[in-house]
A and B are shown apart, each in its own frame.
Chain A
Amino acid sequence: MIAARIEEELSQRIRNLKEKHLQTRPTICMDRAKIYTAVYKNNEARPVIIKRAVALEETLKNMSIFIEEGELIVGNHSSKLRAAPIFPEYAVSWILKELDEFDKRPGDAFYLTEADKQELKEICFYWKGKTLLEKGYEMMPDLMREIHDSGIIRAEGNLTSGDAHIAVHFEKILKLGLNAYLYQVKAQRERLDLTDWQDLKKEQFYKAVEIVLKAVEAFIGRFENLSVIMSEVEKDPQRNKELLAINHNCKIISKDPPQNFYQALQLVYFVQLILQIESNGHSVSLGRMDQYLYSFYKHDIDNHRISDDFVMELLESTWLKLLSINKIRPWSHTRYSAGSPLYQNVTIGGQTLEGKDSVNDLSALILESVGRLRLTQPNLSVRYHRGMSEDFMMKCMKVIEKGFGMPAFNNDEIVIPSLVNLGIEEEDAYNYSAIGCIEIAVPGKWGYRCTGMSFLNFMRVFLAALNDGYDRGSGKTFCKGNGRFEEFASFEEVMEAWKKQVEFYTKATVMIDTAVDTVLEENVPDVLCSALVDDCILRGKTLKEGGAKYDFISGLQVGIANLGNSLAAINKLVFEEERITPAELMKVLANNYKDLEGEKIRQLLLNHVPKYGNDDDYVDLLLKEAYTVFIDELKKYHNTRFGRGPIGGTYYAGTSSISANVPSGAVVSATPDGRKAHKPLAEGSSPSSGTDRLGPTAVFKSVSKLPTHRILGGVLLNQKLSPSSIEQNRDKEKLISILRTFFDDLKGWHVQYNIVSCETLIEAKKNPENYGDLVVRVAGYSAFFTTLSPDTQDDIIDRTEHSL
């Protein structure tokens, strides 16, 4: 019912467009693949960066374009709505393997014609042996290749989809306009000394930037033309006017700075769109939209040139356009990212350099419009700080209540001091934004992948530590250990063994990253993206060559909670209480807790050991100790941009593994926390599913014991609540209060709320073991759902349906 009411709030135009987007069957668009392939074939002799500039240029000039009925913001990603372009230069092996199954996928199916299939196959055959993925494997040192194949470390995402995880300098683009960049490039180019090899490289970069900037201008110009042609045959006077407005907008922004809010938003969208035609990466983010668009908004409002209703409609149009950008991924990856998410983050809120609240009227409109549309895009983050008003927090709660997990919160109180501590200039630190999910960077000044290089599977590493370094999954010993667990006399030896293994694999992660970064730099430089990030143009370097002002990255670790719980289980039940012998534990781990004997031990591990997420120092501090080993080791290394220009060039930890916990769990045998083989690992830094039994305050306390200030890749925390638990304002107020405590006092990094749906409750009733942490509002008080009698559960399920 809420859904119906919200739909009513939307204008007919937006409702129609939303319906159309959601109803359209996803397909594949061949335009980009065809054009890129042709350009690569015809330009083999040219430097890679020129080849890529020309390929983007040809695509922007020749791909099909269209303007949908009723659209106010224009620009299409591919030839048809919801059609995913193909990026063959990154990887094709999976396409060839899965091509005939695209339309048979149980979720996220893609439908394409036989003719398209044939053409796609031919394109793929050309690319076989030439793709980034294959080059990446070849670049890895032999042992690293083996480790990567074993699945202990995965870096495929970077190779099949490129970098991204970045926000370009929208503030500057809007201020200067696109042509200003061309002048800047021209001026830089004139200063080069072409007797110098480094300047020769820069010359190629500048040439590429010129090609691409002109191509962007031409692309926007195509919409300028299309809108005027359409207006000539448009009979509806209202639509005719709209098309002419689009025409005028494109005419201005293809060269010059936007003159009003509408134009500014259109330019932001064009840039955002083209970045995702250039590169296959996801988490291309929009930065602090409520800040850089505010002066346009304010000017228009003050001069009565725009109404808030129209601003809402424009914002909603933009969110729909963001949704229209589609991506096809290998099935293995799709299963865990259902709905083709692109993680295009919009950040609002935060504070000014003077520490004042940055929330403005536009922040509220962005929040409300995202809440009204309830789509997966954009991914909305709110920068929390101590001075954020109760009123705005309440507005956030009202959107959270709608149950689609937005907005998420990042906390200025920890992020800004940590950034300053890292060497980020204060002015930039205060201007950070979320990228993708929870990771952070200074928009327009930070290189790719502030987090999101390789995934390190902590539990594979931990199991190897118990097995003298032997990795059961691959049958190999990559790093000889300190002996088998049965031979360890004390818990300290377990920690020592962990230390040895995790240090080895941390270093391996960096070696793999280095190989991956090298092939990315050499083969798929992004020209436009580099041009729009400081100080690439000034330095004459792409991002990967060290063009960004800042360049810190992180890999991701999966299985953090499982690590803590496993350590606690071993310490308590094996060494302190001697309730389980080392031999027994190793036996049941090997046979996946087989038979009654195995199940009995598993139950002991599950129920008689403190679990991370319950504010119990016993386990929380063990986890901190074990995780710190990893952080200390990682700190020793640097990335491929170190010493080449950027501030930083080093690593920090990050936990925003999002859905990787599922596939990562699928390749891990049974673990000492009572988790069975192949089951998901815990996500991010959240507690293991169903093990946090004391409610959200205890979870906050546990999470805050991690060395958050050293995990700048983000400390991800998901909390589940039932819709009824925040139904009333007084409950929302209490939620705000615990959030403020978590952020102000405990210095938490991030939290997002999962307001649990009725379906989840039904699932929770069927499989209570996975939902021990699910808090529901029964009536006058809250209770853990799984502790309620079946009848009451049904009652709540029924009520939930009513309230939704």
Chain B
Amino acid sequence: MIFNIQRFSTHDGPGIRTIIFFKGCTLKCRWCENPESQSFDYELSYDRGKCIHCLECANISTNGEITLDNGKLRINRDLIDDPLRYRNICPTGALTVMGEDRSIEELIQEVKKDLPFFKKSYGGVTLSGGEPYAQPPFLFDLLAALKAININVSMETSLYADWKHIHKSINYVDTFLADLKHTDRAKFKAYTAGNLNRIIENFKNLEKENAPVIVRVPVIPHFNNTKEEMAHIIDFASSLKNVHEIHFLPFHALGMGKYGMVGKGYDFTEKFFRDDKELNDYVAMALKKGLKANIGG
């Protein structure tokens, strides 16, 4: 299942790219900017600002799934057993179903649309998420189909995945864009639902395979944005023989509004300021370690 296809992406791998976002991720980072990417199921997203209260949705709702309560639409998510009933119902797009089951053929058709732009810019497709490795059969079918038409593939992954899947994909992937969020196990555990050991192992395995990896570091306030923590991250990255490049991705509270829309709470409320100096310092530190570095992808 995917939740979005984005064309004309310019910062997630080389050239002009189309990104396919897989739906579902088990890591559940507290700062996650795409809350709709976490669940492996269909979800309803409701954007109050767009709603004109035409009640098309409430009209097809049985057993009080969606009701009008004091002039406001109320979505009782616990009662919804089949979100797909609401697909394409809402005229304004205030109520949408997150998640699409697209066939490989459909995805390839979509990807092919920008082929001339890929060719000229040495671009291609980036698989992202969610976590692409969390949907192995679908992922391998797609990878095979992409390679069959010679598309350059970047894999954006948390590496919080089963090595055997990653290993199997190596021949299909031109570049791994792998997240390295922290090097401290306890801190990692406090902010995510994952285990850092597994990720570190996968980095080392990829090194053994000499797979081309670009390390990407989300710079998250109160989590990893100190020089000390960043130094550890950079040290680890530069210790890997297959890593020559590192990207520092500045944090944005972009996802904040989206949490409410999919009925989730957002507890990562740390105040932040984008500090270009801080980011430039990290770049300088990485350069010193012999890595090519930049801010953003």
Question: Which chain A residues have a beta carbon within 8 Å of chain B's beta carbons?
Answer: 596, 599-601, 603-604, 607-608, 615, 694-698, 701, 731, 734, 737-738, 740-741, 744-746, 775, 778-783, 788-789, 791-792, 795
**A789 and B8 contact, CB distance less than 8 A:** no
**14 A-B Cβ contacts within 8 A?**
A600-B52, A608-B91, A697-B16, A701-B113, A731-B10, A734-B121, A737-B121, A738-B120, A775-B8, A779-B296, A780-B249, A782-B10, A789-B256, A789-B257
**B116 and A779 contact, CB distance less than 8 A:** no
CB distance from A791 to the nearest CB of B (A): 7
Within 8 A of A (CB), among B241-297: 247, 249-250, 252-254, 256-257, 274, 295-297
Tell me which residues across on chain A come within 8 A of B295, comparing CB atoms: 779-780
Tell me which residues across on chain A come within 8 A of B254, comparing CB atoms: 778, 783, 788-789, 792
CB distance from A745 to the nearest CB of B (A): 4
Query: Which of B56, B91, B296 sits near A781, CB closer than 8 Å?
Result: B296
Tell me which residues across on chain B come within 8 A of A601, comparing CB atoms: 91
Distance of A698 Cα from B113 Cα, bound (Å)? 8
Query: Which of A600, A697, A781, A792 sits near B117, CB closer than 8 Å?
Result: A697
Distance of A744 Cα from B119 Cα, bound (Å)? 12
**B252 and A779 contact, CB distance less than 8 A:** yes
Tell me which residues across on chain A come within 8 A of B52, comparing CB atoms: 596, 599-600, 603
Asked if A791 meets B121 with Cβ closer than 8 Å, knowing A745-B116, A780-B296, A782-B11, the reply is no
Which 10 pairs between the two chains have the least Cβ-Cβ distance? A780-B296, A695-B8, A603-B91, A737-B121, A745-B116, A789-B257, A603-B92, A781-B11, A741-B120, A600-B54
Q: Which residue of A lies closest to B11 (CB)?
A: A781
**A780 and B247 contact, CB distance less than 8 A:** yes
**A698 and B7 contact, CB distance less than 8 A:** yes
Asked if A738 meets B117 with Cβ closer than 8 Å, knowing A731-B10, A782-B11, A795-B274, the reply is yes
**B16 and A608 contact, CB distance less than 8 A:** no
Q: Which residue of A lies closest to B5 (CB)?
A: A694
Looking at B15, B92, B295, the one whose CB has the most chain A CB atoms below 10 A away is B92
Tell me which residues across on chain A come within 8 A of B247, comparing CB atoms: 780
Query: What would 4 more interface pairs be, CB under 8 Å, given A599-B52, A695-B7?
Result: A600-B54, A694-B8, A741-B119, A782-B9
Query: Which of A615, A737, A745 sits near B113, CB closer than 8 Å?
Result: A615
Distance of A114 Cα from B98 Cα, bound (Å)? 67
**B9 and A781 contact, CB distance less than 8 A:** yes
Distance of A603 Cα from B92 Cα, bound (Å)? 5
Tell me which residues across on chain B come within 8 A of A781, comparing CB atoms: 9-12, 296-297
Tell me which residues across on chain B come within 8 A of A783, comparing CB atoms: 254
Q: Mark B82-114, 1 if CB is under 8 A from A, else 0.
A: 000000100111000000000000000000011
Looking at A744, A781, A783, A792, the one whose CB has the most chain B CB atoms below 10 A away is A781
Tell me which residues across on chain B come within 8 A of A607, comparing CB atoms: 91-93
Tell me which residues across on chain B come within 8 A of A694, comparing CB atoms: 7-8
**B16 and A738 contact, CB distance less than 8 A:** yes
Tell me which residues across on chain A come within 8 A of B56, comparing CB atoms: 600
Distance of A775 Cα from B252 Cα, bound (Å)? 17
CB distance from A20 to the nearest CB of B (A): 39
**A741 and B93 contact, CB distance less than 8 A:** no
Q: Which residue of B lies closest to A779 (CB)?
A: B250
Query: Which of B113, B121, B257 sits near A738, CB closer than 8 Å?
Result: B121
Distance of A792 Cα from B12 Cα, bound (Å)? 21
Query: Which of A596, A604, A745, A780 sits near B297, CB closer than 8 Å?
Result: A780
Distance of A698 Cα from B91 Cα, bound (Å)? 24
Tell me which residues across on chain B come within 8 A of A734, comparing CB atoms: 10, 15-16, 121
Query: Which of A596, A738, A778 sits near B252, CB closer than 8 Å?
Result: A778
Tell me which residues across on chain A come within 8 A of B9, comparing CB atoms: 781-782
Within 8 A of A (CB), among B1-54: 6-12, 15-16, 52-54
**B252 and A792 contact, CB distance less than 8 A:** yes
Tell me which residues across on chain A come within 8 A of B121, comparing CB atoms: 734, 737-738, 741
Distance of A697 Cα from B116 Cα, bound (Å)? 10
Q: Which residue of A lies closest to B9 (CB)?
A: A781
Distance of A775 Cα from B11 Cα, bound (Å)? 14
